Copies of this chain bind each other. A is one copy, B any other.
Amino acid sequence: MAGLAVIPNVRAQQNLIPYAKPIIGTEKMGHTFPGATVPFGAVQLSPDTDTLSYEFNGKYNKDVYKYCAGYQYDDPTIVGFSHTHFSGTGHSDLGDFLIMPTTGALQLNPGTEQNPGSGYRSVYSHANETAEPGYYKVKLDDHNILAELTTSTRVGFHQYTFPQSDQAHIILDLMAGIYNYEDKNVWTVVRVENDTLITGYRQTNGWSRTRTVYFAMTFSKPISEYGCRDYSKKQVYKGFWRKFDQTKNFPDLAGKQLRMYFDFKTDAKEKVKMKFALSPVSTKNAIENMKAEIPHWDFEKTKAEAQQLWNAELNKIVIKTSSQEEMINFYTAMYHAALMPTIYMDRNGEYKGLDQQVHKAEGFTNYTSFSLWDTYRAFHPYLNLIQPSRNADIIRSMMAHYDQSVLKMLPIWSHYANDNWCMSGYHSVSVIADAVIKGNVPFDANKVLDACIATATKRNYEGIGEYMDKGYVPNEKNSVSVSNTLEYAYDDWSIAQMAKKLGRMEVYEQFIKRSENWRNVYDPSIGFMRPRLSDGSFKKEFDVLKTDGQGFIEGNAWNYSLYVPQNPDGMIELMGGKKRFVSHLDSLFTMHLPDEFFAETEDITREGIIGNYVHGNEPAHHVAYLYNWTDQPWKTQERVRMILKHQYHNGSAGLGGNDDCGQMSAWYIFSSLGFYPVAPGSDQYWLGSPSIQTASLHLENGKIFTVEATNQSDKNVYVKSVSLNDKPLKERFITHDQIMQGGKITFQMSAKPMK
């Protein structure tokens, strides 16, 4: 059935819900949201603790960054509950359709954190807050209302327990939004169809340039009165407002800055319920989504269904660990790795495409919100392993994007019928190559290869033309020239792998040659990757610890110089051989990064760093595994266990950096299982040190792959030996095929490194 998670083979499921804690990462830099959603659901119904403007008095408002997911654990007030949220991003958007139940005198202004009584927001306490997969509950102290939220795939279900009141309100703030730039709201339309049904849409211009979300909301009891205010600085044609009083009980509304209220009279402990359905296409589709997904008013039933979906999702890997904390870290990681991308189509398969036309997804589920610079690394390989059919649908969605693109490009960072082209590289090609290499190809592989080639040869995008001509992106042309050169080279390697598998050797030759371009930005005189100018010379002013203005993005030269996942042997050789390389790696983890340089490292807390190794950002996610290419693989084991231990915690501040749409979490899942896909597009998972005791991977093909770590403990982080199906494993990696056949890998753990 479209949009529902695939339920694995019937087997006794454990109740893993208690281990998945949506609250983890909601404090500081995690940028996760605590609210309710189903796996990969289109609706993320979650509390927002503030709705700041991106600009304040004409200047960038730094604090807006905190609210990428709408919620900061430290905040004392909740503004309301909105229906769309990214999980773990470092720039943001969404926050559509903020709902707030209130009592007492009507207030249509959100008020301030300092003076919550000045608006509709409410003080709340974490003691009165519960966040579970698919369920969120909080007491709104200022209004004496208990708010409960759950969802289906496309419908948010609100349940508000009011006190006795003649002045009970539900506010619909259509001005509110995450990263709410001035003029972000382009247009809003609302129709009060009858006394229980409201429809409309909201069109925004933000990180997604042209985005429209349609809605249908319905109440469990008729509204007694309702009204609207238009807060636009200017209303163009005033005649509309002369003919009717449009502020009260007027059902046909439109404007740039609207806030609405719906009034009720409530008895003590009366539950007023509301269903709020979304559609990317039309209010008609939103109504159909609502009727199909939640045709009743039984909140508990919807909550139980949501949690059943989550339990099925979490049961795909069943583990045993030595501590409750590790159980929570693991299943919270699985939870966070099942939030994005999100389903982006209606029950009838319709969605708005990149060309702003309505399309129908034929034979696949369409997804959106691809943070590919982050997720190509471990998240998509994780899907390829544990739910390849979903990953194939994601690739089909990318191909639909490509087909609709007038630029003829695969997505870079795309959401809701737009691409914001954020970050470096063209990593759709990596996601696709990884699927092709691993045999997950229920689509026309040659066609997707053509799309990859078209994207990788888009000359006027981010220095690609110069990269093709010179073998590197000149720094004058592009402020992140080294990152781009390195990431393009890796992506090119992944295209080459795919081409080879498909027998298109001409393409292979072209791209395998390009994949060596990383060499062109290596400065042997200093032993680091370094920005190069058009004339071939290296940029003079250069600091290997700085991030800003050094040709990199979210990483300094110390981290980024290690970014040659496609050819570690070559890199090690160029960097002076294994010995010298080990000492470079060691220093990365042990040196001290002075505060002045840390300040430039975006998206992470001080705890998101180990030495100068920045785990809170992505470029170094493969780095701990690089010891495997040296004579000291035990250092991989040690470092991985250290990162697992120090970078992931229980509690709201449990993530040292942005979760980045599941990438940080996917790193956790792989690494705690003992292996990691260093170079997606290869079929190899390189071994580290499992932190679990046992794990059963329930594969989509019906087979089970088991990981066992014997003699496991917090001290026994070193791997003494590894066997696959009880035969010694000679390599330092296992292959995708070996896993997919089912079986068992056994790690003999030890307190001593195997030097």
Spell out A's residues near B (CB within 8 Å): 181-184, 186-187, 189, 191-193, 201, 203, 205-207, 209-210, 234, 236-237, 239-240, 243-245, 249-252, 254, 256, 282-284, 355-358, 405-407, 420-422, 460-462
Contacts and interface: CB of A to CB of B under 8 A. Distances in A.
A189 B284 CA distance: 24
Which of A182, A237, A282, A405: most chain B Cβ within 10 A?
A237
Closest 10 CB pairs of A and B: A243-B421, A191-B406, A251-B406, A181-B236, A210-B254, A252-B406, A209-B254, A186-B187, A205-B236, A207-B237
Contacts of A250: 460
26 contacts: A182-B234, A184-B236, A186-B186, A187-B187, A187-B203, A187-B210, A191-B406, A201-B356, A205-B237, A207-B237, A207-B239, A209-B237, A239-B420, A239-B421, A239-B422, A240-B421, A243-B461, A244-B461, A249-B460, A250-B460, A252-B405, A252-B407, A282-B357, A283-B355, A283-B356, A283-B357
Contacts of A405: 252
A283 B239 CA distance: 31
Contacts of A243: 421, 461-462
Nearest to A200: B356
A252 B460 CA distance: 13
B420 A460 contact: no
Nearest to A462: B243
A602 to B, nearest CB: 14
Nearest to A240: B209
Q: How many copies does the complex hold?
A: 2
A245 B210 contact: no
B234 A205 contact: no
B422 A236 contact: no
B406 A183 contact: no
Nearest to A460: B244
A420 B240 CA distance: 6
Contacts of A251: 406-407
Given A182-B234, A243-B461, 4 more contacts: A193-B406, A240-B421, A252-B406, A284-B357
Given A284-B357, A406-B192, A407-B251, A244 B186 contact: no
Nearest to A194: B406
A86 to B, nearest CB: 15
A43 B355 CA distance: 24
A206 B239 contact: no
Which of A192, A236, A239, A421: most chain B Cβ within 10 A?
A236
A236 B187 contact: no
A107 to B, nearest CB: 26
A251 B254 CA distance: 31
A252 B358 CA distance: 17
A421 B242 CA distance: 9
A183 B236 contact: yes
A561 to B, nearest CB: 25
A239 B179 CA distance: 14
Contacts of A181: 236-237
A405 B251 CA distance: 10
A405 B252 CA distance: 8
A138 to B, nearest CB: 32
A535 B379 CA distance: 75
A226 to B, nearest CB: 13
A572 B371 CA distance: 78
Contacts of A183: 234, 236
A685 B207 CA distance: 63
A353 B460 CA distance: 41
Contacts of A192: 406
B237 A206 contact: yes
Nearest to A479: B242
A421 B193 CA distance: 20
Which of A184, A206, A407: most chain B Cβ within 10 A?
A407
A201 B210 CA distance: 12
A508 B234 CA distance: 45
B357 A244 contact: no
B209 A356 contact: no
Which of A210, A406, A422: most chain B Cβ within 10 A?
A406
A208 to B, nearest CB: 9
A193 to B, nearest CB: 6
Contacts of A284: 357
A553 to B, nearest CB: 12
A406 B209 CA distance: 30
Nearest to A58: B234
Contacts of A240: 209, 420-421
Given A209-B254, A236-B206, A237-B207, A421 B244 contact: yes
A244 B477 CA distance: 12
A241 to B, nearest CB: 10
A161 B405 CA distance: 34
A239 B461 CA distance: 13
A205 to B, nearest CB: 5
Contacts of A252: 405-407
Nearest to A93: B237
Contacts of A236: 181, 183-184, 205-206
Nearest to A413: B239
Contacts of A234: 182-183
Contacts of A283: 355-357
A203 B212 CA distance: 13
Contacts of A254: 205, 209-210
A157 to B, nearest CB: 25
A184 B232 CA distance: 13
Contacts of A406: 191-193, 251-252
Contacts of A460: 244-245, 249-250
Given A203-B187, A254-B209, A357-B282, A420 B461 contact: no
A189 B210 contact: yes
Which of A181, A203, A252, A407: most chain B Cβ within 10 A?
A252
Contacts of A237: 181, 205-207, 209, 420
B187 A205 contact: yes
Contacts of A420: 237, 239-240
